[in-house]
Structure 1
Amino acid sequence: MKKKIYVLLFAALVSAPLAQAQTKKKTKAKVKTEAVIQEPEMERQVVNYTVESGESTAEIFARTITAADLSKYLHVLASDEFEGRETGQKGQKLAAAYISNFFRENGLIGPVASNPGNTYYQKFNLEQATWKAAALKVGKKQFVYQKDFFLFGDAPEQPTQQLDLVFAGYGIDDKNYSDYRNLNVKGKTVIVLAGEPMDKAGNYLISKSKEASPWGADSRAKTRAATQKGAKNVLVIESSEANLQKSMEGLKHWLDSPMIAFPGKDRRNPTIFVSPEVGAALLNTSAKKLQAYQNKISESGKPVPSEFKLATGVELQTEKVRSPLPTENVLGFIEGTDKKDEVIVLTAHYDHIGMDPTKTGDQIFNGADDDGSGTSAIMEMAQAFMEAKKAGAGPRRSILFMAVTGEEKGLLGSEYYTSNPVFPLANTVANLNIDMIGRTDEKYAGNKNYIYVIGSDKLSSELHDINEIANHQYTKLELDYTYNDEKDPNKFYYRSDHYNFAKNNIPVIFYFNGVHEDYHKETDEVDKIMFDKMETITRLVFHTAWELANRDERIKMDSNKK
């Protein structure tokens, strides 16, 4: 556990609110303050604790947030012993116990009265589903799962479907290029070609460059467009047999793992990826004629109506076996003082994607950055706020520190909490969510002094300003709002746990270092984490939370951006 600091001489500082402290100028004069440090199973010791004159109370306790402590927690969370922290599995349970014990030993309250066995756990049941059978039949020809095609996503309730097909070219719905003009796809299985058409110069038609647009980079934009137009299924014809095999190899861990969801929840039909041979059979054509059709699009630079007469008697079998999967969010609570009924929620997901026993060598996805880094950060902030409380500088508003489960399966833990809140959502002031803060992405290679900030101005301009001021005053990071743009194709605003709070009109900030080469790979290891970067970002979140918890007025909802 982190050393417990009991500050002896902070009477004047403790009484100073953050807003006042932010206006003070620091002087070179320093006051040395003695602090007693206690640690279980260690001798008591006395150290010098230096406080700069004019330093705010928030700064005093922010400096208890250290790279060394963050490293200590993360080395446990991302250890092989925790087996990749797969939702509902042994490693996730070990991580939950570690986090709850940390909260308990540091004096946080377990607020879940409905679970008297462990009031730090918010328990709930998910459902895991494994493939019992998967088959695709076109006329009399049967194609083999994970050879000729694969399914990515959940399975519908009906185990066998007759597919009503419609062909939508490349499946693009861009303002200057749309395959959906005059095309009704409601209730049908939409067949689309993978990738993006290119012009004669070898540039992609949509991006008009050598780099594919989001329409060509992967299938998500195409699946989203078809689904929004009412399609029942989406079927993607890969550009080559080699590409299909490469995709299956890269996704093998997910294809072989159970799908996890809430019991009885409406299930989205899977996206079906097929080889060119299967695609030609579905379109009742040959691979040569299909290539000729694609060449026509490249030559014309716009969608071309097809003359394909689609196959009939197409049958998809997608049957799964379902079983219950218990899991838990881990909650630690610090009660406020005069505004204790209002709550700030700090979140990070402690689950990851587990293990892949089919791999040779390293089989464990340790998830050091994703999101062991964020989980370590909320643990460290919980301890810092508790030290403040012990010194008489506890927060005015209450703070809930929550390590959520099931994020990798679709933001399930945060969805469960916002549907079954321990504290009323109406009393929840804001959610600060931390997901990956220990690495750099390609854009910032060699520069650790940044963080992507997402969602801060979507519902409250005051929240945005508070974070900006805290950064300017204390941490001086480059705050990058690239992914806050609604037009950004990555749609990160919708892809972490803060979104379930935002859906309930609770102002949010998502802190994120961007995607790197080890994202969702077994190489996301502790030895690649930049703990000094983690320390700075954690202090920024701490300062923002401190101001939210201690200001006189609750932040206002004054915007409704997408």
Structure 2
Amino acid sequence: MKSRFIRPAVAAFFLLLPLLPAQYAGSSPVDEARKQGFDDIDEQACKGWLEVLAGPAMEGRGTGTKGYLKAAKWIAARLKAFGLEPAGEQGSYFQWVRLVRFLPNQQASKLSVGGWSRKGGDGVVFESCEGKAEGEAVLIRGRGRDLSLQDPESLRGKVVILSVPLRDYFRSPLRKQIREAAPAAILRIVARAAQRRGMGRYQLASAVQMGAKLEDGPARKLLKKLGLPAKLAAHPKNAGLEVHPSKKSVRLTVKAKKEEIKSPNVLARLEGSDPELRDEVVICGAHLDHLGKRGTTIYPGADDDGSGSTALLALARAMKTNAKRPRRSIVFLWVCGEEMGLYGSKWYVENPLFPIAKTVCELQMDMVGRNEEKGNERPEDNIQTIHLVGSKKLSMDLHQLVLEENHHVGFEFEYDEEDVWNRSDHYNFAEKGIPIIFLFSGFHPDYHRPTDTVDKINFTKIANTARLMYLVAWRAANRIERIRHDGELSK
């Protein structure tokens, strides 16, 4: 991928970043109980840490790679040097996440209804999975971004056949409903079922989904065998959702080559000071992974999410440095697999090292090191801005706490990026009913490109993100009253 040139005005702006003040203008002093840790957050330290994390030795920190493991060990070494307690498995700083991927043998795999069967190839491609699955078939046809089932639980154990445009499927509630219903398999009707040449993408070992892609011809034949009109294979022209159950069963038999790896989440804890409250935790999080290497090209991920990982490191050191500890414990969590599909955080909430019921809130930092640059917005117009995402969905109490603590930092909050609500690791915590906040400084032209490099980072913004999250975490952990939960998750 070709490098992108920075406009001269933008380049000049980045040269001025070290001259920017620490806290933004108009911010108020911090109380003595938290001032020692607050003052410990240092932009130069952040710069040094990020230069390591986004440096060539880490090779883009791709989950499952040597570069990612090197980054995880480097973070763990910093935590040990800070004097923070390991919070991983078996007294370590690591929680190991199991990932698998498959290369299906298409000709040895088949799709069957009664005595009729179809092997892989020529319009049928089996997904990255292995094993056997069988269940009654249900055809779901739809179009539109608001597709939602009235009774998604009825899909449990069924073979779901989808005739829905891919864009609508991924953007509507339908995908989540189907996934949570745990169907036996998912068959997607697509315009072209391309066969992957190499191994499929990694998945959580605990959540491998049986499935296949079918082109129109094989899909029509399958529907006929199921007693359904063949014309229903076509995506509907009008918006809406249709459900067509069949009493006949579909069987999938998939044979594949399997590859399994483990990749660590990194965790440390600062124990709370109150014997009655220290078993409750406030989790502060970021994702350590990025895109790794593609060929010989390294994707350094300085902003995504080297910036959040760096801010979390600064926050962790500040908490340990501060003489007065909060009543509850603080957990610092760097997850793997975010770029693959929020895998590290999904694994954590399914295998929590601290009980979900004892988790007060989760505070997420993802891409907090740049000034938003999109459309007609220039980076120099967004020096103090940051997006506060999802803070009103589960706890207005937590939202208000963030607003109050921001008086000490001075961010200008924006609320126009709610579309990224489900695109970082806080989402898996919110799905468990845990109040969250998500700080995100916005998109820019270097997003997911090899040009996401350290020289373009606003270290004042990283440090101020760490300062704000330090204050919010300390106060949420120190209150006698636990953060109030507003009830059902607001979508």
TM range, smaller chain: 0.7 to 0.9
Q: What amino acid is the match of 2:401?
A: I
Q: Which of residues 282, 291, 316 in structure 2 aligns to 1:353?
A: 291
Aligned match of 1:235: 188
Residue 140 of structure 1 deviates from its aligned partner by 10
Partners of 1:532 and 1:501 in 2: CA distance: 28
Equivalent residue for 2:102?
130
C-alpha distance after superposition, 1:176-197 (max 9, x if no partner): x9999xxx999455353647xx
User: What pairs up with 1:530-541 in 2 under 5 angstroms?
Assistant: 530-541=458-469
Match of 1:325 among 261, 275, 281: 261
Q: Distance in 2 between matches of 1:429 and 1:402?
A: 14
Partner in structure 2 of residue 428 of structure 1: 359
Q: Whole-Å Cα distance in 2 between the matches of residues 415 and 442 of structure 1?
A: 30
Residue 129 of structure 1 contacts residue 320 of structure 1 at CA under 8 Å; is this kept in 2? no
State the AA in 2 paired with 1:502.
Answer: A
**Residues of 2 paired with 1:545 and 1:460: CA distance?**
15
| 1:487 corresponds to | none
* Change in CA separation of 1:522 and 1:134 when aligned onto 2, cut-off 3 Å: farther
SS in 2 for 1:115: helix
- Secondary structure of the residue aligned to 1:467 is helix
Matched, 1:115 2:49: no
336, 339, 350: which one aligns with 1:405: 336
Contact 2:149–2:177 (8 Å) recurs in 1: no
Give the conservation status (yes or no) of the 8 Å contact 1:134–1:316: no
Distance, in Å, in 1 between the alignment partners of 2:350 and 2:140 is 39
For residue 414 of structure 2, what is the aligned residue in structure 1?
A: 479
Q: Structure 1 142/481 Cα, relative in aligned 2: closer, same or farther at 3 Å? A: same
**Counterpart AA for 1:536:** N
Distance in 1, Cα, partners of 2:356 & 2:138: 44
Distance 1:538 1:140, change over 3 A: same
Match of 1:508 among 420, 424, 436: 436
Contact 2:369 2:458 in 1 (8 A): yes
For residues 58 and 462 of structure 2, the distance between their equivalents in structure 1, rounded to whole angstroms, comes to 21
Rounded to whole Å, the distance in 2 between the matches of 1:231 and 1:173 is 25
1:150-299 matched pairs, under 5 angstroms? 154-155=128-129, 157-158=131-132, 166=139, 168=141, 171-172=142-143, 187-188=158-159, 190=161, 192=163, 194=165, 215=168, 223=175, 232-238=185-191, 256=199, 258-262=201-205, 265-270=206-211, 272=213, 278-280=215-217, 282-283=219-220
Task: Give the CA deviation at 1:379.
Answer: 0.4
Whether the aligned pair in 2 keeps the contact of 1:130 and 1:257 (CA below 8 Å) is yes
Match of residue 303 from structure 2:
369
Cα gap change, 1:367 to 1:257, in 2 (>3 Å): farther
Q: Residue 459 in 1 paired to residue 403 in 2?
A: no
Q: Specify the alignment match of 2:272 in structure 1.
A: 336
Q: Distance in 2 between matches of 1:373 and 1:431?
A: 18
Once superposed, what is the RMSD of the aligned Cα atoms? 4.4
1:450 matches 2:389: no
Give unmatched runs, 5+ long, in structure 1.
1-51, 196-213, 285-289, 306-313, 484-489
Summarize the Cα distance change of 1:166–1:387 in structure 2 as closer, same or farther, 3 Å threshold.
closer
Segment drifting more, 64-73 vs 416-425: 416-425
| Equivalent in the alignment of 2:13 | none
Q: Does 1:83 align with 2:46?
A: no
1:381, CA displacement in angstroms? 0.7
Change (3 A) 1:472 1:269: farther
The separation in 1 between residues aligned to 2:74 and 2:241, in whole angstroms, is: 59
Give the letter aligned to residue 204 of structure 2.
A
Amino acid at match of 2:281: V
Maintained 8 Å contact 2:143/2:165:
no
**Does the aligned pair in 2 maintain the 1:343–1:398 contact within 8 Å?**
yes
Q: Distance in 2 between matches of 1:540 and 1:134?
A: 52
Q: How far did 1:388 drift?
A: 1.4
1:56 aligns with 2:28: no
> Take 1:477 and 1:347, find their aligned partners in 2: how far apart are those partners?
22
Q: CA deviation at 1:100?
A: 0.7
CA displacement 1:382-408 (0-9 Å, x = unmatched): 11222213xxx3333321212122333
Aligned residue for 1:387? 321
SS at match of 1:98: helix
Specify the alignment match of 2:454 in structure 1: 526
Q: Structure 1 residues 503 and 190, CA, compared in 2 at 3 Å: closer, same or farther?
A: closer
Name 1:559's counterpart in structure 2. Answer: 487
Structure 2 stretches lacking a partner, 5+ long: 1-26, 222-230, 243-249
Q: In the superposition, relative to structure 1, how do residues 427 and 281 fare at CA in structure 2: closer, same or farther (>3 Å)?
A: closer
How many angstroms apart in 2 are the aligned matches of 1:227 and 1:402?
26
CA deviations over 1:305-332 (Å, ceiling 9, x no partner): 9xxxxxxxx9977533334423322222
1:66 CA drift (Å)? 3.4
Tell me how far apart the structure 1 counterparts of residues 29 and 290 of structure 2 sit (CA, whole Å): 43
- TM normalised by structure 2 equals 0.72
Q: What letter is aligned with 2:62?
A: E
The answer (yes or no) to whether the contact 2:364–2:439 under 8 Å persists in 1 is: yes
Answering whether residue 478 of structure 2 is matched by residue 547 of structure 1, we say no
The separation in 2 between residues aligned to 1:515 and 1:411, in whole angstroms, is 19
Q: Matched residue of 1:546: which SS?
A: helix
| Identity among equivalent pairs (%) | 30
> 2:144–2:239: 8 Å Cα contact kept in structure 1?
no
More RCO (CA 8 Å, sep 6+): 2
Distance 1:335 1:167 in 2: 50
Give the distance between the partners of 1:158 and 1:423, measured in 2 at CA. 35
Give the C-alpha shift of residue 76 in structure 1. Answer: 1.2
Distance change in 2, residues 1:266/1:529 (3 Å): same
Structure 2 counterpart SS, 1:103: helix
In the alignment, the residues of structure 1 paired with residue 52 and residue 29 of structure 2 have an alpha-carbon distance, to the nearest angstrom, of 37
Distance change in 2, residues 1:140/1:455 (3 Å)? closer
TM-score, scaled to structure 1: 0.64
1:172·1:179 contact (CA, 8 Å) conserved in 2? no
- Residue 347 of structure 1, CA deviation: 1.2
- Give the direction of change, closer, same or farther, for the CA distance of 1:174–1:461 in structure 2 (3 Å limit): closer
* Whole-Å separation in 2 of the counterparts to 1:379 and 1:394: 17
* Aligned twin of 1:71: 47
What is the distance in 2 between the residues matched to 1:185 and 1:501? 25
